[in-house]
Structure formats: structure tokens, C-alpha cells
Amino acid sequence: MTLSNKLSDPRLFRQHAYIDGKWTYSDGGREEAVVNPATGEVLGHIPWLEAEQVRGAVDAAERAFPAWRALRADERCERLLAWNELLQANREDLATIMTLEQGKPLPDARGEVEYGASFVRWFAEEGKRTFGETIPSHIPNAALGTIKEPVGIAALITPWNFPLAMITRKAAAALAAGCPVIVKPASETPFSALALAELAERAGIPAGIFNVVLGDAPEVSKVLCAEERVMALSFTGSTRVGRLLLEQCANSVKRVSLELGGNAPFIVGPDVDPKEAALAAVAAKFQTSGQDCLAADRILVHESIHDEFVECFAERMAALTVGNGMESEVDLGPLIHSQAVDKASQIVDDAISKGATLVAGDQSQAPGPNFFMPVLLTGVTPKMQVWRDECFAPVAGITAYSDDDEVIEMANDTEYGLAAYVYTHDIRRIWKLLRGLEYGMVSVNSVKMTGPPIPFGGVKQSGLGREGGVAGIEEYLETKYYCLGGLGSASGS
């Protein structure tokens, strides 16, 4: 059974790039297979575009830009709201595509479709609030102020772990601001991006405004980064690739936004119920099989409740079901590919060789080659890879600590600074940790922290800029200052 047969609307399954409102094949005839990570089945093929075709997407965006920016904000809002409605109406098909190409359980995929649509709704409205300022004049007979204008063509490069929401969080902000976009999705998960393009077209987003290019990632990114007509680059992915792209954008001096890796500490204070905190930590660690930038990578537990916490964590972890995300009752799908499985094994071996204790995690139970059974390690120390690297696998590492100053130092002992979790009810401890943690986002007594109204983003090597919230649209706006001189007494004050 092919992917399109599993959809109510088979036209949502596209195997071409989308440029200037046209479904486009590779001029060079190159193509790549896209594989279901749970089964190894080939789901379809995508074209590997030539550099000239990627430049063609820039040409199309350049042509379409003047008419799109000239629309009133409320007119762009209408198109975005129509896109949102189509995302919601096609939720089941979009979730099916996502589970098949990414592997996450179907209920999680449905949740991501809703999460992705929520950014479209949010930015549809935010586009109407891109206010400039009136500046009290220091120049005689003049009126001063600012106007917000779209920055121009934006290139959006996105990862495979959230194949839909990482696109809409960027694209909706850019489109609302009046910018055309060129999306380069991860090659592992292109079909969600192409379904988004199909629905954008149906929503009345004009040709050339929403483009999807596909191909060899370094080749395509080089073209987009070097292009002087591309004014902004927004990237979500690993810190390693983020650094490369930042360098590549230097020559054309682009606006660069980077949403990079995380290595979140999950801090458990001495005053909380260990069972409650353990349930929260399991939820924060294992979403998307641990392949989440917000995954609780280093679980730091006060020594007074450490043993009880470990016992509750292990019990909850044992109840997780690993399997094909299309099957019901599955909590953890596969990892994205076999290299991810190899890396997870290596991280576990490294920890054990350096003195960690393997409490649970028997890989002989894995239901297929890309699956990795959840692992619990205790006695994790900063020497270990599981502490230093962004793990991106269902491997939980627990470390005991003795006081607040020590745990702040431990939590900050990483190059990353995306998100941190704190579990405690002591208000003085909450404030101390909130201020002491070098992270862009700190969530206290809640696993859920994201959503459209919040400024999502990290400090240190977790990124530059913010997505979502009031700040998200600013990444796609320029501030134009004006001085209207010679106004005489009409200038006012």
C-alpha cells in the first residue's frame, strides 16, 4: 500500500519540489528515496534540485514579493487563516504523513499538526500589529518616527524531528510580515513540507511566496546563504550545522536566526514528591523518543530523594511501549535512522565505561533495527558524553546533587542554553534557580512550556533570536526610520 492510499486526500502526497506555484522535478534527473524509519519501507522519492533551480526559487520569490508586501496586513491575515483552517481540516492526513516519514506516534503527530497550525493563527493576527513608533523630535520643525517593513526573501532550513511545526513557526511569521519564503526541509521528512505547500496554494497564497526546495543539504544551503537577494536565513537544527550556516551568511550579511541544539537540565529539589517529579521527568525526557531539543538530558536530583526518584522513574519508564507509531498504544517510535541508534549505543557504552550504572534498557527487546529501548543511567558525571552531548535518544542520565549552588553550576556546565526544567515549591529556591540558570527558557513545575505566545529560543550555543510570541515576527521586519523636516509649526512636538 503506497503512502497516498493511506490518505483521504491523496493529493497531499507530493514527490516534487514546489517552486513558483509549480511542482518541479530535478533538471539533472537526480532523486532520493524517503524511508519509513519504523519499517525501512520506501515511502516515495524526492528530486535533488540543481543549484540553478534553487536560484530559480529565488527568482520566483523576487517576482512575487512586491505584490505580497503591497497587500494590507488584514488581507495577508485572511490567507493565513485559510491556511490554518486547511491544516486543521486535513489533520488526520498530515499526521499520517508525519508518522510514516518521521516515526513519532500518531497521537503525537496529530498534536504537532495542531501545534503547527497554532503558529499560523498567531502570526496571522500578529501581522496586524507590526507597529512603528513616533519619536519626540530633537530636530526643529521635523517629525520623526519608524515604519516596519518586510525584510525581504527569507530562506527557512528545518529539521526532521518536528517536520511541520518548525516550518510553520517560521513561515507564518515571515508571510505575515510580508516576506516570501523558500523552505528547505530535512531530506528525511520532506513530505510534510510538500503537503504544507499544497495547502498553502489552496489557501490562496500566491505562486512564488511559499516555495519548497529539495536536494543535497550542503549544496542547497550554500546557494541560499550566498544569494544576496535572500535577506534572512532562519535555521532550526544542530549547533554544528548552525555554525556553518552562520559563517556562510557572513559575506552577504544576512539577518540570521538560529534555533539550535539543547541539553536541558531537569532539576528536582529536595521538597517535592519524588513520584510526581519522576513522572514529569519521564514525560520531559522521552517525547519524540528523546529526539527533541527540549528533552530533559541531564536529570539532577537532590541527594535526599535520589533513590526514591530513581525507583519511580524506572517504574514509569518500564511502562513505556516502543513500536511503530502507526500502531495504537505506542509511546516511543523509532529513531530517525541507524546512525542515530549507533550514536545512542555509543553514548550508553561511554557512560558505563566511565562508571555510570545501567539501571534499565535492554536493547535485545527492540522491535526493529531503528528502535532503541529507553535506557536509565545513574551516577552520570560531566566526563561522560551523555552529559556533554545533546543526546537525542531515549537515554536518561541521573546525577545526585547536594545544594542549590552546586546544581546551578552543574546545570550551566554545557555549551548549550536552550531550556531548563525546575521542580520545587520553595519560592526562594525557584527565584534563585530562575535567575542563576543560563538558559533562554526556564519551566518551573511544568513539562509543557511551548506554544505560540512564548518567545522560543536559546542562549549560548543554542541559538540567536526568538521564534513565536511578539518577538517572532521581528525576525522578518526591518525598522525604517524617517525624519520629515521643514514642517514648520505643523511638526508638533
Ligand X SMILES: N[C@@H](CC=O)C(=O)O
Q: Which residues bind ligand NAD (CB under 6 A)?
A: 157-162, 166, 184-187, 217-218, 221, 236-238, 241, 244, 259-262, 293, 390, 392, 418, 463
**Which residue lies nearer to ligand X by CB, 126 or 259?**
259
Alpha helices in 5-105 (DSSP H): 51-70, 73-89, 91-102
Partner residues linked to 421 by β-bridges: 266, 443
Q: Are 336 and 160 in contact (CB under 8 A)?
A: yes
| Min separation Cβ 477 and ligand NAD, Å | 20
Matching residue, cell 538560529 = 258
For ligand X, which is the closer residue by CB, 178 or 261? 261
User: Within 13 Å, how many C-alpha atoms sit on residue 385's CB side?
Assistant: 15
Least Å distance between CB 126 and ligand X? 17
308 is catalytic: no
Task: Return the residue nearest ligand NAD (CB atom).
Answer: 237
How far apart are CB 166 and ligand X at their closest, in Å?
7
Q: Which of 130, 161 has the CB closer to ligand X?
A: 161
The nearest distance, CB 287 to ligand X, in angstroms, is: 7
From CA 229, how far away is CA 343, in angstroms rounded?
39
Q: Could you tell me which of 329, 281, 262, 270 has the C-alpha nearest to residue 305?
A: 270
What DSSP character marks residue 228?
A: T
* Grid cell at residue 375: 535506557
Find which of ligand X, ligand NAD, none residue 208 binds, CB within 5 to 8 Å per kind.
none
For residue 298, the minimal CB distance to ligand NAD (Å) is: 14
The option from ligand NAD, ligand X, none interacting with 126 (CB < 5 to 8 A, set by class) reads: none
Contacts of 116 (CB under 8 A, 6+ apart): 87, 164, 165, 167, 168, 169
Contact residues: ligand X, CB under 6 A: 161-162, 292-294, 450, 456
C-beta nearest to ligand X: residue: 293
Q: Which is nearer to ligand X, 162 or 210 (by Cβ)?
A: 162
176 binds, among ligand NAD, ligand X, none (CB under 5 to 8 A by kind): none
313 is in the binding site of which of ligand X, ligand NAD, none (Cβ under 5 to 8 A by kind)?
none
- For residue 168, give the nearest of 153, 178, 158, 179 by alpha carbon: 158
The per-residue DSSP string of 400-437 comes to EE-SHHHHHHHHH-SS--SEEEEE---HHHHHHHHHH-
Question: Which stretch of DSSP H or E encloses residue 143?
Answer: strand 143-150
For residue 110, give Cα distances in angstroms to 34, 170, 213, 328, 434: 21, 19, 25, 13, 32
Judge contact between 163 and 109, C-beta under 8 A.
no
Q: How far is the CB of 63 from ligand X (least distance, A)?
A: 32
Of the pair 185, 325, the CB lying nearest ligand NAD is at: 185
Minimal distance in Å, beta carbon 166 to ligand NAD? 6
Nearer to ligand X, 82 or 422 (CB): 422
User: Smaller CB distance to ligand NAD: residue 13 or 392?
Assistant: 392
Give me the catalytic one of 50, 198, 259, 467: 259
From ligand NAD, ligand X, none, which one binds at residue 450 (CB under 5 to 8 Å depending on kind)? ligand X
The partner in contact with residue 252, picked from ligand NAD, ligand X, none with C-beta cut-offs of 5 to 8 angstroms by kind, is none
Report the C-alpha gap between 440 and 456 in whole angstroms: 8
CA nearest 166: which of 60, 293, 72? 293
Interaction partner, residue 173 (ligand X, ligand NAD, none; CB < 5-8 Å by kind): none
Residues tagged active-site: 259
